[in-house]
Structure 1
Amino acid sequence: MDDELLRRVTAWIAEDPDPRTRAELEALVAAGADAELAERFAGTLQFGTAGLRGALGGGPMRMNRAVVIRAAAGLAAYLGSRGGGLVVIGYDARHMSYDFARDTAAVVTGAGLTAALLPRPLPTPVLAYAIRRLGAAAGVMVTASHNPPQDNGYKVYLGDGSQIVPPADAEIAARIAAVGPLDEVPRAADGAWRVLGDDVLEAYLDRAAAVVRPGGPRELSVVYTPMHGVGMETLDAAFARAGFAAPLRVERQAAPDPDFPTVAFPNPEEPGAMDLAFATAREAAARAAADGSPAPDVVIANDPDADRCAAAVPDPAAEAGWRMLRGDELGALLAAHLVRTGAAEPGRDVFAASIVSSSLLSRIAAAAGLRHEDTLTGFKWIARVPGLRYGYEEALGYCVDPDGVRDKDGVTAALLVAELTAALKAEGRGLADLLDDLALAHGLHATDQLSVRVADLELIGAAMARLRARPPARLAGLDVTSAEDLREGVGGLPPTDGLRYRLAGQDVESARVVVRPSGTEPKLKCYLEVVVSPAAGLPAARETATGVLSALKADLAEAAGL
């Protein structure tokens, strides 16, 4: 190990307040793990619009108490320069989440601000709701959402209940960079801050239950998994308050478990993540056939912090007997439901989605006389759309009550899924039937994604540089009619690292590709959409769309050098 690296590691160990990460770094030094230590000390975990997120461990490139204390001190300095106020702090059940929440409360209180902790591990939307209800200046949620078990994160909201956006992120980052030695950061003793009771949670549940109409159909059977996260208790209570029967839980995933033992990635979108939920649904269907009990109508899943919502429908043609709805499909279904129930007012309310989401939402909105807005990726942008009534993003995020929770909320989205499923069941129909209706009315909008996880982030930069240097002229036999570099701030959107291609050809009405680095994971993500006329029938349209999407993925991977 070179002398400079050893000096930096030794200095960090001397300052680190956590004996666990100190011991970890000392063991790495003793083992001569130079490459590992060099990576951990190659820079600092960057604070941005997603706050902080990374693997747990010692060193400035990991999530640990030293990094969190600095982040909290920088946030407190930023808020203090703007008048201070209350900071509400929530946390999930991941490793170190409570420690990071308590450190944040200690630093915020030590800086002369007021801190309040949620009473226990709770969903992210409860924290987002609490900020607005309590009139806080800011909120912090300690969570890594759907990341792997070795990760944790630190998400920051300002007083409007929305996640931070530029320039606030850069200003907070500058304050963090200016924090001196940790032993000079004032920290209050345990007990100096407020721990909230259940009042805020009860108010959230009342608000959540109000997203469904009183007196509507409630007859349905739901299979539910919180994916080893913190959603079970809150969703059960919300369902009961709204008049729905308790969902049939996926028992092996029902209790919070930071190791996520039954899934490779605790994300409903990942292959295999829903296997236990589908097995539970099949077992329930078999019991129903034998004893006449209700067979499951829908499977619902939250991610570990319950801000995302996934749904699956029965499908005899699928290997598991169930088919996961794509995020875009569920987004369109919820929008159609809000239109159908009169919950959105023409001429006033706005539907919004990010530029990586399906354009079907814009057609649903136009047909209903509603305004529609495109935003950059992330609810930090969607939630800020003036007049927003409903917003969604293809990555299973849905904002159905923006006046209550100005962020994605997997609990209220699950309630709307249940209400819609029950209403359709009362008509002898299902979610798949409504999807067919939307395709016939607005064209078949088929979406897919090419997502490449990398160990070396430089590979993502190289792929983006390759596409910028040699933009494709054709993809999947379709002509690229426009190629936009989103760094230039196209269409009135703020600049962002991304590329958008629009395509045309005789077999499709339109097609679109968006390529961008993930903001929360080491992934390059390519979002694909094909719109096909249903004139020849939906089966033919689906076959055409499937073929084009498959060819798009292959051609795009080649163009990006993936």
Structure 2
Amino acid sequence: MSTTANDDSVARVARATAEGNLSESAARNIRRWLTESPFAPHRDRLRADIEQGRWQELDNAFFAVLEFGTGGRRGRMYPIGTNVLNERTIAESARGLADYVTSRKGSDAERSCVIARDARRNSKEFAECCARVLAGAGFTVYLFPEPRSTPLLSFAVRHLGCDGGIMITASHNPPSDNGFKCYAGTGGQVIPPDDSGIIACVEAVSEREIPEVAMEQGIQEGTIRLVGEEVDRAFIAAVVAQSVSDARNASIVYTPMHGVGESACGEALRAAGFAKVNVLESQRQPDPDFSNVPGHVANPEVPRTLEPAIEEARRTGADLVIASDPDADRIGVALPVGPSSAGAWTTLTGNQIGALLAAFVVEQCQKAGGLRPDHYMVTTLVSTPMTRSIAESAGIGMEDDLLVGFKWIGQRIDRAGPGNFLFGFEESHGYLRGTHVRDKDAAVAALLFAELVASLKDRGRTVLDYLDELYRKHGHYGEALINKVYEGRTGLEKIRSLMAALREDPPQQIGGLAVTQVDDYGRHESRRPGSSAPPTPLPEPSGDLLIFTLDAPGTRFAARPSGTEPKIKFYLFARTETSHLTDGAGLDAAKAETAQRLERMAEDIHRYIASKVPEETA
């Protein structure tokens, strides 16, 4: 009967492919799942989907193999499929990591891995699946049975001396998603050549059955060890040690956005001595649907997600709103615009938060006499150039030539020397001070921003005053972000088509300014449009990133596909000189000039996208 059912399903798949309802790549992967023994446990669900004619769902689930991006493996969950997260693809990921570590250390060597997870749907099941698989591969597994933050996992890898770590999370993605975030023994996310080595092992594993050890058996035998409080205490102590100010007079509304952040950000703020921390009750409990977050996408980059916390801050007269994303590795902040908390509030961009914290850390270290010329800060190629000006004015180093992804910042810290690392961030709201982790840390960021607010409050100043002072000193830097979302197989094709167009037929003008240079980090070449001169070599880093320099100082834009979401991102940068200004009205005019330039750039970029991808789905 099973053979007959399989034959019927294979025939239905063939017809769907011939009729154009299913791609060849999806059909190929589906046939494997129908006929090969490793996938037998999932066959009943697969047959049911085929009988119901769920071709769109099956095509999206099977048309490709979900790859590692800037944050590992992340995507939609679906019970079956190669391009989605389910127990089979999670098991393949865990066994691939295990096999790669074993190939490097040897099967007779002691091998260990620590596993944590957020509060998303299926995160507990996926984490336990990883534990069973790694124990089956001969590893000692340290498992957090309760939800924890991503930076805690990074810390735990180093603290426990493990060969690697796994974090089950999709960060700020929609409720439909989950992910497998893979860490090396450094506590940083895996980087080349380890990432490609792991992928190769995952591909090899996909051809065979994956042995597991039952949870109860692993715990009883000691191959699966449950961890918690001791690591938690050590992590919080390491975060509090990054304090740069004794100021504590700040009233804070904090929201974990239904994620795990209270155990990290909330605990760190309280342990550091901030007595007035009001955790937003409506978003306090972990909830995989993010029920009380506007739009149900808990992303602190999006201003409207902070609106409930801002309302609470108005009601209670707070000085500051801090929000962390569901796995508590990034923050968003909001501040009152005027002297009264009852009035208007504003949110800050990731670049503004990064520049503020960079300047504050530098200032505080200078006051303490602890700033040295060999100190350095780290950012990415698509983060605000204002940080370089801050570093240069302080006489310290600046490492700002990195691709998107905090794993590159972690790698640079290890290369350049952890002892001299001062501060690092990327524009997508990820920040780090200290060497207790090699990833962005919302707890450290929350502590530093709370100290910034409290320190300025003691001096009778506000964060917005401080930001304006930075603009007067360094110039007004403005940034904008365009996200174009393209779902599924056709969406992937649109993203690739748009990146190809940007390379082969780039815009000649954007925002009324000529494109004077194109830096292509995929082809490792720098080109001058309209010039007969051959391209000049562009050194590392290597990635699918294009940077277009425009004919105005400090003005450029960048384009890259996201490594973790089905979207292409455009990063816009502009700067207006302010050294000649003498009053606040002049600064307001400079801000308006920057904003207008960014707006004109955005309009032209949207027009260019529409001309190259006319049937876009945003």
- TM-score in same-fold range (> 0.5): yes
CA-to-partner distance for each residue in 1:202-227, whole Å, 9 max, x for gaps?
0001111111146x121111111111
Q: Distance in 2 between matches of 1:24 and 1:275?
A: 41
User: Which residues of 2 match residues 357-368 of structure 1 at below 5 A?
Assistant: 357-368=383-394
Q: CA deviation at 1:389?
A: 2.2
| Amino acid in the other structure paired with 1:503 | L
Q: CA deviation at 1:7?
A: 3.7
Determine helix, strand or coil for the equivalent of 1:274. Answer: helix
Q: Higher Cα Rg: structure 1 or 2?
A: 2
CA-to-partner distance for each residue in 1:37-61, whole Å, 9 max, x for gaps?
2332212212344221111112111
Q: Is the 8 A contact 1:9 1:41 kept in 2?
A: no
The answer to whether residue 248 in structure 2 is matched with residue 204 in structure 1 is no
Q: Is the 8 A contact 2:430 2:442 kept in 1?
A: yes
Q: Distance in 2 between matches of 1:411 and 1:193?
A: 28
Determine helix, strand or coil for the equivalent of 1:164. Answer: coil
The equivalent residue for 1:38 is 59
For structure 1, list consecutive stretches of 5 or more residues without a partner in the other structure: 285-294
The answer to whether residue 543 in structure 2 is matched with residue 496 in structure 1 is yes
Q: CA deviation at 1:232?
A: 1.3
The answer to whether residue 357 in structure 2 is matched with residue 313 in structure 1 is no
The equivalent residue for 1:439 is 471
Q: Which moved more, 1:126-135 or 1:28-37?
A: 28-37
The equivalent residue for 1:411 is 443
Determine helix, strand or coil for the equivalent of 1:81. Answer: helix
Q: Which moved more, 1:254-263 or 1:542-551?
A: 254-263
User: Which residues of 2 match residues 19-30 of structure 1 at below 5 A?
Assistant: 24-30=45-51
Q: In the alignment, which of 80, 101, 109 is matched to residue 135 of structure 2?
A: 109
Determine helix, strand or coil for the equivalent of 2:95. Answer: helix
CA-to-partner distance for each residue in 1:374-415, whole Å, 9 max, x for gaps?
2111111011221332110000000111x1111100011000
| Amino acid in the other structure paired with 1:338 | V
Q: Is the 8 A contact 2:337 2:464 kept in 1?
A: no
| Amino acid in the other structure paired with 1:465 | A
Q: Which moved more, 1:520-529 or 1:489-498?
A: 489-498
Q: In the alignment, which of 415, 429, 445 is matched to residue 396 of structure 1?
A: 429
Q: In the alignment, which of 349, 353, 356 is matched to residue 330 of structure 1?
A: 353
Q: CA deviation at 1:82?
A: 1.6
Determine helix, strand or coil for the equivalent of 2:468. Answer: helix
| Amino acid in the other structure paired with 1:2 | V
User: Which residues of 2 match residues 61-210 of structure 1 at below 5 A?
Assistant: 61-83=83-105, 85-179=111-205, 183-190=209-216, 191=219, 192-210=223-241
Q: Is the 8 A contact 1:467 1:560 kept in 2?
A: no
Question: Larger helix proportion, structure 1 or 2?
Answer: 2
Q: In the alignment, which of 565, 568, 574 is matched to residue 521 of structure 1?
A: 565
The equivalent residue for 1:289 is none
| Amino acid in the other structure paired with 1:275 | E
The equivalent residue for 1:471 is 506
Q: CA deviation at 1:531?
A: 0.8
| Amino acid in the other structure paired with 2:456 | L
Q: Is the 8 A contact 2:70 2:404 kept in 1?
A: no
Structure 1 pair 87/225, CA: closer, same or farther in 2 (3 Å)? same
Determine helix, strand or coil for the equivalent of 1:154. Answer: strand
Q: CA deviation at 1:76?
A: 0.4
The answer to whether residue 34 in structure 2 is matched with residue 10 in structure 1 is yes
Q: CA deviation at 1:316?
A: 5.5
Q: Distance in 1 between matches of 2:520 and 2:430?
A: 25
Q: Distance in 1 between matches of 2:68 and 2:40?
A: 19
Structure 1 pair 515/320, CA: closer, same or farther in 2 (3 Å)? farther
Q: Distance in 2 between matches of 1:200 and 1:125?
A: 12
Determine helix, strand or coil for the equivalent of 1:323. Answer: strand
CA-to-partner distance for each residue in 1:105-162, whole Å, 9 max, x for gaps?
1111111121101241011000101111111111110000000001000001101111
Q: Distance in 2 between matches of 1:151 and 1:59?
A: 14
Determine helix, strand or coil for the equivalent of 2:379. Answer: strand
Q: Distance in 2 between matches of 1:446 and 1:319?
A: 28
| Amino acid in the other structure paired with 1:422 | A
User: Which residues of 2 match residues 425-436 of structure 1 at below 5 A?
Assistant: 425-436=457-468
| Amino acid in the other structure paired with 1:255 | Q
The equivalent residue for 1:531 is 575
Q: CA deviation at 1:345?
A: 2.7
The equivalent residue for 2:456 is 424
Determine helix, strand or coil for the equivalent of 2:213. Answer: coil
Q: CA deviation at 1:278?
A: 1.6
Q: Is the 8 A contact 2:69 2:564 kept in 1?
A: no
The answer to whether residue 362 in structure 2 is matched with residue 339 in structure 1 is yes
Q: Distance in 2 between matches of 1:272 and 1:27?
A: 40
CA-to-partner distance for each residue in 1:297-348, whole Å, 9 max, x for gaps?
1110100000001111112599982111010000011111111111763321
Over aligned residue pairs, what C-alpha RMSD do you find? 2.2
Q: Is the 8 A contact 1:334 1:416 kept in 2?
A: yes
Q: CA deviation at 1:23?
A: 6.3
Q: Distance in 2 between matches of 1:434 and 1:316?
A: 14
Q: Distance in 2 between matches of 1:245 and 1:329?
A: 26
For structure 2, list consecutive stretches of 5 or more residues without a partner in the other structure: 1-11, 15-26, 526-537, 614-618
Q: In the alignment, which of 216, 226, 229 is matched to residue 256 of structure 2?
A: 226
CA-to-partner distance for each residue in 1:189-210, whole Å, 9 max, x for gaps?
4324111131011000111111
| Amino acid in the other structure paired with 1:372 | M
Q: Distance in 2 between matches of 1:69 and 1:529?
A: 42
Q: Is the 8 A contact 2:33 2:43 kept in 1?
A: no
Structure 1 pair 7/459, CA: closer, same or farther in 2 (3 Å)? closer
Q: CA deviation at 1:272?
A: 2.5
Q: Is the 8 A contact 1:118 1:197 kept in 2?
A: yes
Q: Is the 8 A contact 1:137 1:159 kept in 2?
A: yes
Q: Is the 8 A contact 1:16 1:65 kept in 2?
A: no
Structure 1 pair 339/7, CA: closer, same or farther in 2 (3 Å)? closer
Q: CA deviation at 1:283?
A: 1.8
Q: Distance in 2 between matches of 1:257 and 1:336?
A: 36
Q: In the alignment, which of 500, 518, 529 is matched to residue 483 of structure 1?
A: 518
Q: Distance in 1 between matches of 2:44 and 2:151?
A: 35
Structure 1 pair 173/316, CA: closer, same or farther in 2 (3 Å)? same
The number of residues matched between the two structures is 544
The equivalent residue for 2:270 is 240
CA-to-partner distance for each residue in 1:158-208, whole Å, 9 max, x for gaps?
011111111111110111111155545343543241111310110001111
| Amino acid in the other structure paired with 1:530 | A
The equivalent residue for 2:530 is none
Q: Is the 8 A contact 1:356 1:394 kept in 2?
A: yes
Q: In the alignment, which of 41, 50, 71 is matched to residue 50 of structure 1?
A: 71
User: Which residues of 2 match residues 232-381 of structure 1 at below 5 A?
Assistant: 232-263=262-293, 264=295, 265-270=297-302, 272-284=304-316, 295-315=317-337, 321-342=344-365, 345-374=371-400, 375-381=402-408
Q: Is the 8 A contact 1:123 1:307 kept in 2?
A: yes
Q: Distance in 1 between matches of 2:124 and 2:272?
A: 30
Determine helix, strand or coil for the equivalent of 1:218. Answer: coil
Determine helix, strand or coil for the equivalent of 1:135. Answer: coil
Structure 1 pair 271/29, CA: closer, same or farther in 2 (3 Å)? farther
Q: CA deviation at 1:418?
A: 0.4
| Amino acid in the other structure paired with 2:238 | R
Determine helix, strand or coil for the equivalent of 2:99. Answer: helix
